[in-house]
Amino acid sequence: MATTKDKDLTIEDRLRQLYALQAIDSEIDKLQILKGELPMEVNDLEDEIVGLGTRVSKLESAIQDLETEKTNHLNKIKEAEMLAERYKKKMDEVKNNREFEALTKELEYQELDIKLSTKKIRTSESNMEIKNESLENAKGKWEEKKNDLEAKKVELEKIKEKTDKEEIKLNKKGDKQRKVIEDRLLRAYDKVRSAYRNGLAVATVERDSCGGCFNKIPPQIQLEIGMRKKIIACEHCGRVLVDSSLTEKK
């Protein structure tokens, strides 16, 4: 059993060990990707909900203002109607033409005020209608996003519950695997692995090409890889190359 760094290991054993480490590390990478997107989605939703909440309260206060405006104009109309009534009564008692004309002007003025306020009320009402529609819309979206957020949070929790355990398990397995691999090889592995986004430092030969960078591998080199007597790196990307049958479980 090769539990410590054994200098007598064959190259084939070393390649198998390295490939096993790569398999563990790739599993860890997959877990990170799985988790990596959900927290971002949750954050985005939280931002959206705050934005929609602001929109809802702005619309509500705008509608409130329009309501106040409408009430003010209704009061103005009431007042103008009262005055008009008073002027009409006075007109029945006028003594001369001049007084009559003055009252007629006052009456006209009040009637104009009533017309103007009526028009303003109509405008307020149609604005309110538009704002109410937007408000309903925003509230609907708000509700929808809140439900989305709840669902995502539950999903994230579930994944974390699973991945956290899995990650700990894989990390332990990875640490154990690293202990049996030669330091020099491990350093090269880490260096290549960190250089690529997909974290691949060991690649298989697939369809006569490197499984990491997809460049063609000459037949002579493929033959040497298959013999497993030398550690061979891809001349294009530096990944350690193994023949695909080595990756099959023994």
Please state the separation of Cα 52 from the chain's center in Å: 15
Which residues lie below 8 Å from residue 209, measured CB to CB, with a gap of 6+?
215, 216, 217
Strand partners, 204: 242
Q: What is the smallest separation between the CB atom of 21 and Zn ion, expressed in angstroms?
A: 18
Cα–Cα distance between 221 and 240 in angstroms, integer? Answer: 12
Q: What is the smallest separation between the CB atom of 221 and Zn ion, expressed in angstroms?
A: 11
Q: Is 212 one of the binding residues for Zn ion (CB under 5 A)? A: yes
Quickly list DSSP for 113-150: HHHHHHHHHHHHHHHHHHHHHHHHHHHHHHHHHHHHHH
Q: What is the smallest separation between the CB atom of 215 and Zn ion, expressed in angstroms?
A: 5
Tally of residues, the chain: 250
Q: Is 186 one of the binding residues for Zn ion (CB under 5 A)? A: no
Whichever of 84 and 237 has its CB closer to Zn ion, that residue is 237
Q: Is 242 one of the binding residues for Zn ion (CB under 5 A)? A: no
Whichever of 34 and 221 has its CB closer to Zn ion, that residue is 221
Which residue among 20, 23, 62, 213 contacts Zn ion (CB under 5 A)?
A: 213
Whichever of 73 and 239 has its CB closer to Zn ion, that residue is 239
Which range, of 48-56, 121-129, 189-197, 212-220, touches Zn ion by CB under 5 A? 212-220
Whichever of 180 and 210 has its CB closer to Zn ion, that residue is 210
Q: What is the smallest separation between the CB atom of 224 and Zn ion, expressed in angstroms?
A: 15
In which region does residue 199 sit, left (phi positive, over 0), alpha (psi from -120 to 50) or beta (all else)?
left
Question: Three-state SS for 201?
Answer: coil
Q: What is the smallest separation between the CB atom of 210 and Zn ion, expressed in angstroms?
A: 3
The mark string for 215-234 relative to Zn ion (x by CB under 5 A, - otherwise) is -------------------x
Cα–Cα distance between 237 and 153 in angstroms, integer? Answer: 40
Which element (helix H / strand E) includes 209? strand 209-210
What is the side-by-side order of every strand in the sheet holding 209-210? 209-210, 202-206, 240-242
Q: Is 210 one of the binding residues for Zn ion (CB under 5 A)? A: yes
Whichever of 166 and 243 has its CB closer to Zn ion, that residue is 243
Which residues lie below 8 Å from residue 159, measured CB to CB, with a gap of 6+?
34, 35, 38
Q: What is the smallest separation between the CB atom of 200 and Zn ion, expressed in angstroms?
A: 9
Which range, of 53-61, 129-137, 202-210, 216-224, touches Zn ion by CB under 5 A? 202-210
Q: What is the smallest separation between the CB atom of 239 and Zn ion, expressed in angstroms?
A: 5
Contact residues for Zn ion (CB under 5 A)? 210, 212-213, 234, 236-237
